[in-house]
Structure 1
Amino acid sequence: MYLVDSHCHLDGLDYENLHKSVDSVLADAKARDVGFVLAVATTLPGYRAMREQIGQRDNVAFSCGVHPLNLDGGYDYDELRQLANVPEVVAMGETGLDYFYQKDNIPLQQESFRQHIRIGRELRKPVIVHTRDARQDTLDILREEQVSECGGVLHCFTEDQETARQLLDMGFYISFSGIVTFRNADALREVARYVPVDRMLVETDSPYLAPVPHRGKENQPAYVRDVAEYLAVLKGMTPDDLAQQTTDNFSRLFGVTLPKHG
């Protein structure tokens, strides 16, 4: 079995109390057949610090972007383009819209989202999208900015089946996190049954949203195996087959050649 954690904030784990180092986190992941991790940025200074902390590794790739809740008056779009234009960066984001926590800067959120997609199209890198209470605007902007030219993924999916259908029609991938294992997530499980397995990714969103049976603990890349095993049951597949398919999907979407798992 070979799994990929397609979305984690590797720099956000508790290295003071829970983990010795990035090496130990990745070793714990590998012990559970998680051979590769995509480390996702949420600010540009955070991206720089994350690159410094994690360094160059054959089992970690990076995204570069600014989360909609971290805009704080804006940032330099040229700097985003410049930072993203290196081979180790395989995606733009995470970007998107969040009207649940912030409604006072909607035009800025939308402009930032559009810029990520435009740079993604220019650099031929897919976008990692966050959406909360902003379903229609998210879909509209993805269409208007012709996201199908660079592709992308709606990460930590919690929307309905109709949203999934429209994203799939745009060529998008849909990523499921530990939320799918939560007791009250019946509607999300229905969506997981609906999404074709060749368009599905698995993620932790570490350090958040640890799956059952680790709820209440800090999440970590090793736990993506719990998400994958749960999804395999929903899809009527073996865990090995679901792991292989989601890993192939990751490789295809992000253009990543994965290291051998040994």
Structure 2
Amino acid sequence: MSKKKPERPAPESPGLPCTGVESHAHLDGSEFDADREAALDRARAAGVAQFGNVFLGPEKWRANRHLFAQRPEVFFLLGIHPCEAQACDDTALAAMRAAFAQDDRLRAVGEIGLDFYWDDCPPDIQRAAFRAQLAMAREVGRPVVIHSRDAFDDTMRVLEEEGFSGYPLLWHCFGGDAAQAARIVAHGWHVSLPGPVSYPANEPLREAARTLPLDRLLLETDCPYLSPVPYRGKRNEPAYMVFTAQAVAQARGMDVAELWTVAGDNARRFFGL
């Protein structure tokens, strides 16, 4: 006789206050076409007050921002992902400048950076697009949200060369160790922790979570990717961020509701919500 799989806890079961902020989600993707509104409602019931939706390029912003016309709790990020850096030409940059000038829901430039895990785009093109978007962020006066995969040292080098120490910057989906986290916060930047902090083998990330200054810590799902335990392997959604919060709070030895609210307050300050 086969064993019955244990039921996964409901996201609202921890009873967290409605003070959390989902700092990085891809809710305009087709993965949410069937239940986008319901996913937002589930997250609200679990304690997520505000949501950052990331538009990957100006065309996605133009085509999909209407999806959130009736959801004022959703704010926007806009940037060209390093894997699509070939698209970062003068026309795209001009379109993004125009978008930031007309849409006050656009709160940050991102996700931008370097990705050497995939072979979608040559590193030199990625670096050029990264630098161009950093310059644009200064022009439009918005914080920066970084994507860095298998490119930590190169990403740091570009940011240092461009003089971004002390500039409002969030390292999205951080997956490194305590030493890397310390290098980030030494520049005055913030770190956003995703679902993999809950994975049993990911002790280096939990050690980073333990050592991060509490006022630099944000939470995210990066949904539909990287679901935390106990939903690992399923499509991620903002409600599941509560389980990431539980893992971080346990690692730090603090109350999960306190961690939830502090991380939310950090996000509200960072994005100017």
Q: State TM-score, norm by structure 2.
A: 0.88
Match of residue 70, structure 1, among 84, 89, 92? 84
Aligned equivalent of 2:131: 114
CA deviation string 1:27-74 (max 9, x = no partner): 110110111100012222122222122225320000011100122453
Contact 1:192 1:231 in 2 (8 A): yes
Cα RMSD (Å) of the superposition?
A: 1.6
Match of residue 51, structure 2, among 12, 32, 37? 37
Change (3 A) 1:123 1:150: farther
Contact 1:121 1:147 in 2 (8 A): no
Aligned equivalent of 2:221: 204
Runs of 4+ in 1 over 4 A off after TM superposition: none
Distance in 1, matches of 2:190 and 2:269, equals 11
Distance in 2, matches of 1:5 and 1:74, equals 27
Q: Secondary structure at the match of 2:228?
A: coil
Unaligned runs of 5+ in 2: 1-16
Distance in 2, matches of 1:166 and 1:13, equals 36
Distance in 2, matches of 1:73 and 1:28, equals 35
The number of equivalent residue pairs is: 253
Contact 1:63 1:92 in 2 (8 A): yes
Aligned equivalent of 1:82: 98
Aligned equivalent of 2:256: 239
Contact 2:80 2:88 in 1 (8 A): no
Q: State TM-score, norm by structure 1.
A: 0.91
CA deviation string 1:159-178 (max 9, x = no partner): 22222112101111000000
Question: Does residue 213 of structure 1 match 2:214?
Answer: no
Instruction: Look up the equivalent residue of 1:127 and give its one-letter code.
Output: V
Contact 1:124 1:150 in 2 (8 A): no
Distance in 2, matches of 1:122 and 1:170, equals 21
Q: Secondary structure at the match of 2:218?
A: strand
**Pairwise CA distance, 1:113:** 1.0
Unaligned runs of 5+ in 1: 257-262
Contact 1:121 1:150 in 2 (8 A): no
Change (3 A) 1:179 1:163: same
Distance in 2, matches of 1:254 and 1:38, equals 9
Mean Cα displacement is larger for which, 190-199 or 39-48?
39-48
Distance in 2, matches of 1:243 and 1:127, equals 23
Bigger Rg over Cα: 2
